Structure 1
Amino acid sequence: MTQRPKVFAYYFPDWHKDPRNASWFGDAWDEWQLVKSATPRFDGHRQPRQPAAGYFDESDPEIASEQISLARSHGVDGFLVDFYWYDDGHYLNAALDRGLLAAENSSDVTIALMWANHELVDIFPLSVSSDERPRRLRDGAIDRAAFERMARHVVQNYFTQPNYYRVEGKPWFSIYEIGNLVTGLGGIDETHDALRWFDDLARAAGFAGVHLDAVIWGVDLLPRSVATIGSESTDVDPVDLVPSLGFSSVTSYVWVHHAEIAEFDFPRADMAALRESAFDEYEDYAGRLAVPFHPNVTVGWDSSPRLAPAVPFVPGDYPAYPVWDSTPEEFGEGLRRARRFVSEHPTPHPIVTINAWNEWSEGSMLLPDTHHGDGFLRQVLEVFGPVENADATDRVLDAEDEGREPLEPVSASGSEEVR
């Protein structure tokens, strides 16, 4: 029987007022300002993109409750929340702390963290030409003391949440940039020691340890500092670091991490080619890794809102990338491709990630907009079925994969193993 994978959408939490943003950009600023001010850059360019629900404050628990209901009713099991922690503490935390976790129906979705430990530079919007260095806001590489402060905060405030995702009793924790992790902690051996300490910390709090997940990508995307891995070159293959650092699984964040951007047409590029580029690399990872690899499906891509309107839209570094403006039907093809992948590469706890729930300024969002409505969400429900009928959906997927008529879904029995 094909086991229905957990479907997790990455959640980008910059749709509320934050003290750091206020100090950098002004008291009234949130990333909705970029979405509102986006302009068409070529004929047929679909900008600005408008959320069907309007420009809301995600830290409002009532708003969060509506998003949770929307996710749950369309087959999304939960959110992998982009978690920001720098040397002096957290950033963009109110979406989770005051929003998702405070919502009255918070328990209806599973929550886990993806530590977005990349360098933060001023792309809000980028107002310098491609040959100039944008202003650095925070360094993503943090030292052992800052790492330990972060780990204690995570264990005490998030791992203890009843709806936090656990794999065999181990709370899930993804890390976005292995290179920055190793750079900040001082080397591979030092990073292994820090991650082992993190695991011990979780065990002391009553868990079975930490399920460490590495986000792997083949192509750098966001502008960031030139990092070194101890005394080693950044050419070290992250895949080779997975076993030595003790990661339990590997995931992907977005398809553009697995594509040579310069090889695609500009300004509008082909979604099917991007999908195949990503899955070719996924197949390579699955063949080389000794731990499970969980595939990603990307809704679309358009990072032009992070480029100031006065800056020419010409091929270059992020955010001057091609636009992949997907349709719900094209997105559905990606979901079915991911479903085949997890069937062909079975793991004890299969997962499909989606980029993203709400990456409005990068053109990749499941949330309804005024053009496609809830079309992308309906594709998730169509391909994977409802969350509460996971057992019945397994039978439907088996039948479809075998080319026979599926059985009618029935209510699922039993309880979730890893909630």
Structure 2
Amino acid sequence: MANSLRALAMYLPQFHPTPENDEWWGMGFTEWTNVAKARSRFPGHNQPHLPADLGFYDLRVPETRELQAEMAKQYGIHGFMYYHYWFNGRRILERPFEEVLKSGAPNFPFCLCWANENWTRRWDGSEQQVLLKQEYSDEDDRIHIRSLAPAFSDPRYIRVDGKPVFIVYRTNVLPDAQRTVATWREEAIRLGIGELYLMRVNGWGPHPNPHELGFDAAVDFQPDWCKLPGREFGSLKTRGLNRLGMKPSPYLQDEIRDYGDVVAAMISRAKPDYKLFPGVTPDWDNSARRKKNAIIMTNSTPDKYEGWLRHVAQSFTAYSPDENFIFINAWNEWAEGNHLEPCQRWGRQYLEATHRVLKDYL
């Protein structure tokens, strides 16, 4: 019998207005603002990504959150990994998850990932302009865990051997990751939460052994930026084009890669000597957010995604009955082009591909 696997889909709570986004980006801004104005940059470029079944939803609406959970469960997703934004006691984009927590609905498993980056204007090319800055301290670490106690105590919260799973997106920016982890573990026990199961995300930069930092495991964020294949096209220099009497292409500053090449590169990576939960992504294209320097995958299809997910499911052996996660990036990252939610081009085909693979591992 195949291993039992729990597929967790990463979930972005950006789809509702907030005072901060009104101030920084304009009244009524949500992720849909970027999604709707995206345009194709070259022949065959799949933009814009437009939602189908769920439409341009507002995550303040309970019925929307219920429909998302019902759809995810129907196609084999075990739970959502909600991104959580904490800036020295200040939270943003918190309303959807807070309403999930307080209402008890939907009755669908979840865990949290602290997206601990500075909040900048990088979406419009001004990455150096910091809107909200992360400041770290022992006291803030303690206050942070105290604030999470109600979530960790929820019966829907995803656990490993009874330990709530908490994920950190960028451990490399923590001044002292080991100290932060030790503080969290100590405070959780003091609060009666008990032991935590802590993971770091293998995203940008080197991928250190999580155990050496005090974490229990790592999450394979896809795409793995450190292991991407060469650019498919768009790398010609302007000078060369001028010499040929051609105008510079409008996507010269974008990094464009073939999805199949990315999958092949990800599959060929060596397995690390620590606990790493595998990940996949149905696609990637953040040109809706970035006017230049976008990372764009071409030629993604549900069949190619299904093949990648099947390879991961077949080759991954759970570390224990509860250490059996696969991470899918993402449920609803519409402005980054990676979403399982139905779109107007593919309908539910990515969800159907997900279910064909996962049904044997539930």
User: What is residue 277 of structure 1 aligned with on the other side?
Assistant: 265
Which structure 1 segments of 5+ residues have no match?
221-236, 386-392, 395-411, 413-419
Residue identity matched to 1:178:
T
* Among 262, 278, 288, the residue aligned to 1:295: 278
Over the residues paired in the alignment, what is the CA RMSD in angstroms? 2.2
User: What is residue 287 of structure 2 aligned with on the other side?
Assistant: 304
Q: Per-residue deviation at 1:238?
A: 4.1
User: What is residue 154 of structure 1 aligned with on the other side?
Assistant: 148
Asked if the contact 2:163–2:194 (Cα under 8 Å) also holds between the matched residues in 1, the reply is yes
Distance in structure 1 (CA, Å) of the matches to 2:358 and 2:49: 27
SS in 2 for 1:255: coil
Judged with a 3 Å threshold, the aligned counterparts in structure 2 of structure 1 residues 323 and 140 are, in CA distance, closer, same or farther, namely farther
Distance in structure 1 (CA, Å) of the matches to 2:229 and 2:37: 25
User: What is residue 417 of structure 1 aligned with on the other side?
Assistant: none
Judged with a 3 Å threshold, the aligned counterparts in structure 2 of structure 1 residues 194 and 346 are, in CA distance, closer, same or farther, namely closer
User: What is residue 241 of structure 2 aligned with on the other side?
Assistant: none
Q: Per-residue deviation at 1:20?
A: 1.6
Distance in structure 2 (CA, Å) of the matches to 1:144 and 1:205: 16
Asked if the contact 2:330–2:338 (Cα under 8 Å) also holds between the matched residues in 1, the reply is yes
Distance in structure 2 (CA, Å) of the matches to 1:359 and 1:273: 22
Asked if the contact 1:261–1:321 (Cα under 8 Å) also holds between the matched residues in 2, the reply is no
Distance in structure 2 (CA, Å) of the matches to 1:322 and 1:261: 13
Residue identity matched to 1:92:
L
User: What is residue 116 of structure 1 aligned with on the other side?
Assistant: 115
Asked if the contact 2:146–2:191 (Cα under 8 Å) also holds between the matched residues in 1, the reply is no
Q: Per-residue deviation at 1:103?
A: 6.1
User: What is residue 212 of structure 1 aligned with on the other side?
Assistant: 198
Q: Per-residue deviation at 1:268?
A: 4.5
Q: Does 1:195 pair with 2:181?
A: yes
Q: How does 1:104-143 map to 2 (within 5 A)?
A: 105-107=105-107, 109-126=108-125, 133-140=127-134, 142-143=136-137
Q: Per residue, is there more strand in 1 or in 2?
A: 2
* Among 201, 212, 217, the residue aligned to 1:249: 217
Q: Per-residue deviation at 1:142?
A: 2.5
Q: Deviations over 1:142-166 (max 9, x none)?
A: 23232222211112x3101110011
Q: Per-residue deviation at 1:134?
A: 3.9
Distance in structure 1 (CA, Å) of the matches to 2:40 and 2:85: 31
Distance in structure 1 (CA, Å) of the matches to 2:22 and 2:64: 22
Distance in structure 2 (CA, Å) of the matches to 1:58 and 1:194: 32
Q: Deviations over 1:164-189 (max 9, x none)?
A: 011111100011111112x2xxx3xx
Residue identity matched to 1:271:
Y
Asked if the contact 2:158–2:165 (Cα under 8 Å) also holds between the matched residues in 1, the reply is yes
For normalisation by structure 2, the TM-score amounts to: 0.87
SS in 1 for 2:165: strand
Asked if the contact 2:89–2:143 (Cα under 8 Å) also holds between the matched residues in 1, the reply is no
Asked if the contact 1:254–1:297 (Cα under 8 Å) also holds between the matched residues in 2, the reply is yes
Q: Per-residue deviation at 1:264?
A: 4.3
Distance in structure 1 (CA, Å) of the matches to 2:129 and 2:299: 29
Q: Deviations over 1:90-141 (max 9, x none)?
A: 111112112x43566422x210011111222213433x5xxxx542222345
- 4+ runs of 1 displaced by more than 6 Å? none
SS in 2 for 1:304: coil
Distance in structure 1 (CA, Å) of the matches to 2:11 and 2:134: 19
Q: Per-residue deviation at 1:198?
A: 1.3
Q: How does 1:13-412 map to 2 (within 5 A)?
A: 13-52=13-52, 53-98=54-99, 100-101=100-101, 105-107=105-107, 109-126=108-125, 133-140=127-134, 142-155=136-149, 157-181=150-174, 183=175, 187=176, 191-217=177-203, 219-220=204-205, 237-240=206-209, 242-260=210-228, 263-266=231-234, 268-281=256-269, 283-285=270-272, 288-289=273-274, 292-308=275-291, 313=292, 316=293, 320-343=294-317, 346-348=319-321, 349-385=323-359, 393-394=360-361
Distance in structure 2 (CA, Å) of the matches to 1:119 and 1:333: 36
Asked if the contact 1:61–1:103 (Cα under 8 Å) also holds between the matched residues in 2, the reply is no
Asked if the contact 2:260–2:299 (Cα under 8 Å) also holds between the matched residues in 1, the reply is no
Residue identity matched to 1:272:
G
Distance in structure 2 (CA, Å) of the matches to 1:68 and 1:303: 25
Q: Per-residue deviation at 1:271?
A: 1.4
Q: Per residue, is there more helix in 1 or in 2?
A: 1
Judged with a 3 Å threshold, the aligned counterparts in structure 2 of structure 1 residues 379 and 95 are, in CA distance, closer, same or farther, namely same
Which structure 2 segments of 5+ residues have no match?
235-254
Q: Per-residue deviation at 1:208?
A: 3.2
Distance in structure 2 (CA, Å) of the matches to 1:75 and 1:175: 25
Residue identity matched to 1:87:
N
Q: Per-residue deviation at 1:360?
A: 0.4
